[in-house]
Chains A and B, each alone.
Chain A
Amino acid sequence: MSSKKMITLKSSDGRIFEVEEAVAQESQTIKHMIEDGYGNSVIPLPNVTGRILYKIIEFCTKHVAVEEDIKQKSVEPTVVVEDVKQKSVEPTVVEDVKQKSVELPVDDDAWDAEPSDIDEWDAQFIDVDESTMFELIVASNYLNIKRLMDLSAQAIADMMKDKTVEEIRKIFNIQNDFTPEEEMKIRNENSWAYE
């Protein structure tokens, strides 16, 4: 493998980070900047603090490493294709996959999808306090890192699930800006949400 190119990133508070090109390119924003020719100089990221940038780099590094592992361990793809062609009478593998996608949504076997290692790592990664989570999602939106955006959005959604209105307001510090009449009307419509 050729020597890895390093990209230099600068956070809003002046901290400098050097990362491998592959890791930096997890972010579509940075990837486009590199393609536009800014890869050789320091890339400034004025919207991202050093603390958050550190976490994001940790996330991207881990996922790039996991993908490398998967690529090296993958079975010879050519053999699989031939098998499918020959077994045209009984393409069981293909059909199983199709069947799974429309599996009954409430199988009592739903448990048996054991979380893979990377999912567990992700779960631990996102187990942070709310303000860090918000900063992560804003930063990942700015840097356009889809996987991290999905992960943090899901984490915030999980915090919102199954809570009453008051609880949500309290946890996320949301100001109630309805007028009393509007509040009354909404309460009547969604009385069960306040129970």
Chain B
Amino acid sequence: MTSSTTTTVAESASLDILPPALLGSIMTKLDVSSICAVASTSKTFRTCAYQILSFLPNFHFIDIAPPIHLLRPLLPSNPYLLSLKIDCSRLDDSAIDYLLRPSLQELFLRNCADFSGNLLSQIGARCKDLRFLYLNSVAEKRGRSIHVSDLEEVLSGCSQLQSLILMFDVSMFLHLNFARAWALASTNLTSLEIGYISSKMVTELLSPSIVPSQSGNQITTPRSLPNIQKLCLSVDCITDTMVSMISRNLTSLTHLDLRDSPIMEPTVTLDLTNLGLQNLNPHGKLKHLSLVRSQEFIASYFKRVNDLGVLLMADRCSSMESICLVGFCRVTDTGFRSILHSCSNLYKFRISRGTKLTDLVFHDITATSLLLTHVSLRWCSLLTNYAVISLASNRDLVVLDLRDCRSLGDEALRAIGSLPRLRTLQLDGTDISDIGLSYLKQVSLHSLISLSVRGCKRLTDKFISLLFDGQVSTPLPLQELDLSNIPSLSDAGILLMVKSRVLISELRMRQCPLIGDMSVMALASMQAGDGQGCGSCLRVLDLYNCGGITQLSFRWLKRPYFPRLRRLGVTGTMNRNMVDALAKNRPYLHVSCRGEELGTDPLNMSDELYMHDYEEVDEFEQWLFDDIDREIDDDIDDDDDIDDGEDMVEDDEDMVEDEDMVED
């Protein structure tokens, strides 16, 4: 089509001239969807591809969710298959024969909602050599069930298992049977992650206590999971008992990740206190610690942990490399500073909802020898530009997350703009303006891959021209852009962005009232000069609740436009039949019409990055939230809260009734 030499090859050279063995060695380096695409080009490649499929060691097919008829020809008998990754949304138990092979060492199955527990027992029976297993959403569809015997079979069958990730709810199993099942697990198991489990089950699972058997005699169970190094659990409520049990019994633990989402305010006996923190890391091996209290159901915090607990913990954790503390509203600068100064190997520092965190924490960060690379300070509203300027002395920063730090402005961006290795920058809900973003142009923009400015109300179309104009010569690495909730962003801005030929693969423009059909048309049809339209590299496009989207846009969302689009967000309520027609036209496009966030990389299991709980907060609600912060401050004045448990529960229940807070 174009005559530029970078895309077409000289007349004489064509890939066909290579001998088949060479073609094979090239194609084995591709993922399965690319192999299929290449196979469809010509006969030579087709035969080559089908030969490869019979000895390919890695079968990774995660681009779409294949139905069984598509999958069957792609999975011939292959005794060399080592690693299998598939999205099983359209598969069920009948696919087990094709998926499970005895040679497998890595198995990664997402969205197994239509499978029954049989999947687990079959894995135990057939894949004896398995080292790594990831299962997500097993048997979540109505009518499917898992039994604890299935769990027993997979644990006892896969005796070489090193890493196990079960992202589904195991809390429905009977505690006794569940604990016994884990005794069958292989001693090679070093990494365990469970989607949801109750803290009581964890405690029972790990305690080497005497268990009454059914015959009335007492039997001692051997210690379960002795060699675990990495433990990631999502529980109902993090308690001191559970944390102490974990710390005491798992002697090789280097990586601990605990997350909870209480449905009611935890009482004093069932919560994490300073005591629990003190008991952490008795063997001094912990390198990564993450304690997260998510506000999925109620606004809850680790109210019983203060500076003392954190200080004592920091003393013990001098080899810590990564720390993530979410919901520690009572810890002040003293506590956070002690972490920065005691842990000299720290490179990931993530604090969220640190309502008392101020600039003082980073005031003398240059005195430490820290080389921070990932910093996340979300919902730390007391932070100002000064803190960011101090932070920017860490020149190795790669990920910087300053979402919802409302006091940050353009001066902070001036400091950020000089970071040479920055790849991810999130400034949602901050007080930046167009000029501020233009500071990124100096240095950071040339390494930045993901930029998010969701909800930055002062931004207008101008920042796009300030940022992207004049960049045509060297292509920017920017791939992900989140421009949601910006009231002044209009079609003109998107047109500017498309003209500047930035090759975005994920674009989110949720709830922008001025974005309309023009933007969709611009994204779909602009050609970027080297034969690829800008629309052709978009994989994720979120237009939920955009003011100007009408039926016209849907015509531009059909084929052949947006050839790589895999996830689309639109408002489905108004355009139901258009959405259905689109789904028929593009069966492998995932359309979200009810406003759900479009996940990014479906394999990214750390959901922290996109855990948005965004509803438009008006001034009244904001006043209510500030009220909660004030409540928390008032609690500080109370004594060491042992008797306050009851009072606090009552107060918070009132608070929950008053607000209209909806957390996604």
Contacts and interface: CB of A to CB of B under 8 A. Distances in A.
Interface of A: 99, 102, 104-106, 108, 111-112, 129-131, 134-135, 137-138, 141, 149, 153-154, 156-157, 160-165, 167-178, 186-187, 189-195
Given A99-B190, A112-B373, A173 B15 contact: yes
B51 interface: no
Given A104-B191, A131-B12, A172-B14, 18 more contacts: A99-B162, A102-B131, A134-B18, A138-B22, A141-B22, A164-B563, A165-B40, A168-B38, A172-B9, A174-B15, A176-B41, A186-B46, A190-B37, A191-B587, A192-B33, A195-B565, A195-B586, A195-B588
Contacts of A192: 33, 63-64, 587-588
A134 B45 CA distance: 16
Contacts of A112: 373, 398
A21 B620 CA distance: 80
Interface stretch (B121-129, B166-174, B602-610, B638-646): B602-610
Contact of B423 (A102, A105, A111, A153): A111
Given A104-B191, A106-B604, A195 B563 contact: yes
Given A171-B8, A192-B63, A157 B30 contact: yes
Given A129-B6, A195-B563, A174 B13 contact: no
Given A129-B6, A171-B9, A174-B15, A193 B587 contact: no
Q: Is the interface of B mostly helix, strand, loop or mixed?
A: loop
B19 interface: yes
A174 B373 CA distance: 45
Interface of B: 1, 5-19, 21-22, 25-27, 29-31, 33-34, 36-43, 45-46, 63-64, 70, 73, 83, 85, 106, 108, 131-132, 162-163, 165, 190-191, 229, 373, 398, 423, 531-532, 559, 563-565, 586-589, 601, 603-606, 609
Contacts of A106: 601, 603-605
Given A164-B563, A171-B8, A171-B9, A190 B38 contact: no
25 contacts: A99-B229, A105-B106, A105-B108, A105-B132, A105-B603, A108-B609, A130-B9, A131-B9, A131-B10, A134-B13, A134-B17, A153-B25, A154-B29, A157-B30, A162-B564, A164-B563, A164-B564, A168-B37, A174-B14, A175-B14, A176-B42, A178-B42, A186-B40, A193-B37, A195-B589
Contacts of B606: 108
B357 to A, nearest CB: 23
Contacts of A108: 604, 606, 609
Nearest to A187: B40
Nearest to B505: A162
B425 to A, nearest CB: 14
Given A170-B531, A190-B40, A102 B132 contact: yes
Nearest to A169: B41
A131 B190 contact: no
A169 B7 CA distance: 11
B43 A170 contact: no
A175 B10 CA distance: 14
A173 B29 contact: no
A187 B559 CA distance: 14
Contacts of A189: 70, 73
Q: Which of B83, B132, B165 has the most CB of A within 10 A?
A: B132
B603 A177 contact: no
A195 to B, nearest CB: 5
B564 A195 contact: yes
B11 to A, nearest CB: 8
A166 B10 CA distance: 18
A147 to B, nearest CB: 13
Nearest to B348: A109
Contacts, number: 154
Contact of B31 (A156, A161, A175, A187): A161
Contact of A170 (B7, B131, B609): B7
A96 B19 CA distance: 41
A136 to B, nearest CB: 11
B129 to A, nearest CB: 12
B42 A175 contact: yes
A40 B563 CA distance: 58
A111 B477 CA distance: 14
B494 to A, nearest CB: 22
Nearest to A149: B25
A102 B162 contact: yes
A169 B26 CA distance: 16
B26 A156 contact: yes
Contacts of B85: 105
Contacts of A141: 19, 21-22
B283 to A, nearest CB: 11
A129 B16 CA distance: 17
Contact of A157 (B18, B26, B70): B26
Given A153-B26, A173-B14, A174-B14, A195 B603 contact: no
B14 A138 contact: no
A174 B398 CA distance: 41
Contacts of B604: 106, 108
Contacts of A130: 9, 13
B267 to A, nearest CB: 35
A161 B1 CA distance: 20
Contacts of B8: 170-171, 173
A129 B587 contact: no
Nearest to B537: A162
A118 B76 CA distance: 38
Contacts of B37: 160, 163-165, 168, 190, 193
A195 B537 CA distance: 11
B45 to A, nearest CB: 7
A178 B12 CA distance: 21
A174 B45 CA distance: 10
Contacts of B18: 134, 137-138
A193 B36 contact: yes
A162 B38 CA distance: 10
A133 to B, nearest CB: 9
Contacts of B165: 104
B569 to A, nearest CB: 18
Contacts of A171: 7-9
A165 B131 CA distance: 35
A161 B16 contact: no
B536 to A, nearest CB: 8
A187 B560 CA distance: 14
A192 B190 CA distance: 38
A172 B10 CA distance: 9
B9 A161 contact: no
Contacts of A104: 132, 163, 165, 191, 605
A189 B72 CA distance: 11
Nearest to B34: A161
